Structure 1
Amino acid sequence: MALEMASARLILLFLLVALFRAGPSKAQGLGDFPPMQPRQPHDLILCDNKPGDLLLTRTQVKQKGQFLSYLDMDFMYPPVAGYEFTEVIHCIRVMDKVSDNNGGYATIKSGGLNQNAVTINLRSQLGKGIEFIIEIYGQDPTASAATTSGP
């Protein structure tokens, strides 16, 4: 028992000597910290713009958070499952409107660019709400073909 106590004291003494020999670390000065990084947006922007693209839909999704839980919801375009529009999607913009880095995240669940439909999953951070502006741009290829076809 006395031998274990002596070994523990010796190890402690060794650590203290090593700590004091190292001196103050460089990171202790206030001027040594790197500058703060700007807020990283949680926006999702996927675009393959084509001439003649129109705004197909613009929607605001806003929901308050719940204590110790995540909000998880899907946004579908077109809004009716099983119904297909003829418009082809060329640009998807999901902008996070929460500016304090507590906003949610958007991911493409199905569909997307150069398709007729898209499902976007919106997920909050733990205990936080979400607020997104969703814009989808595209065009109806049958309409442009009808206007450009000659007699």
Structure 2
Amino acid sequence: MGKTTFLFVASAALCLYLCTAAVIKEGTELQDSLVICPKPGDAANKLQIDTNINEPGHWGVTERTYSYPEGGFFANPITCILVQDLSSDGKGGSVSTLEGGLNAKRLTIKLRSQPGHGLNYKIQIYTS
């Protein structure tokens, strides 16, 4: 095995390990955005939710909980979750998973703003 091939294989193995380790457990909080999409280009991914959350801020912290779908469950398991912070001022909040997620049929998240700032997120959820 040549040096270039070895580096490629080692990089791929490290990425596989990190991607697997990056699966978010319930209750995990991240800054800014949440991206859990093991196979982003997979043609089997079907967009189920495509929504924007835009809520102005106030003097304190804004916290909101959202469940998808709003009632019941998706017919198929979730294959890809994208929660993108759209704040252009770098003052985005955090995203927490409260229930469900990847391979589940439901997702509940909590969005939390920085003090004095609002929520500005794009949410996309795909199923198989």
TM-score when normalising by structure 2: 0.70
Q: Does 1:70 align with 2:61?
A: yes
Q: CA deviation at 1:100?
A: 1.5
Q: Secondary structure at the match of 1:126?
A: coil
> What fraction of aligned residue pairs are identical, expressed as a percent?
33
Gapped runs of 5+ residues in structure 1? Answer: 1-40, 140-151
1:45 to 35, 47, 62: 35
Q: Which has the higher contact order (CA 8 A, sep 6+)?
A: 2
- CA offsets, 1:16-73, max 9 Å, x none? xxxxxxxxxxxxxxxxxxxxxxxxx711101133541111110100101111x11000
Match of 1:116 among 105, 111, 123: 105
Deviations along 1:59-111, one digit per CA (max 9) or x if unpaired, are 100101111x110001111111xx12212101110000002211121111110
| Alignment pair present for 1:56 and 2:48 | yes
**Higher Cα Rg, which structure:** 1
Gaps of 5+ in 2: 1-30
Alpha-carbon contact 1:107-1:122 (below 8 Å) kept: yes
> After TM superposition, where is structure 1 displaced by more than 2 Å over at least 4 residues in a row?
48-51
CA RMSD of aligned residues (A): 1.4
For 1:123 and 1:95, locate their aligned partners in 2 and report how far apart those are by CA, in whole Å.
13
- TM-score (norm. length: structure 1): 0.60
Equivalents in 1 of 2:113, 2:53: separation in Å?
Answer: 12
Counterparts of residues 1-151 of structure 1 (less than 5 Å): 42-49=32-39, 50-67=42-59, 69-80=60-71, 83-139=72-128
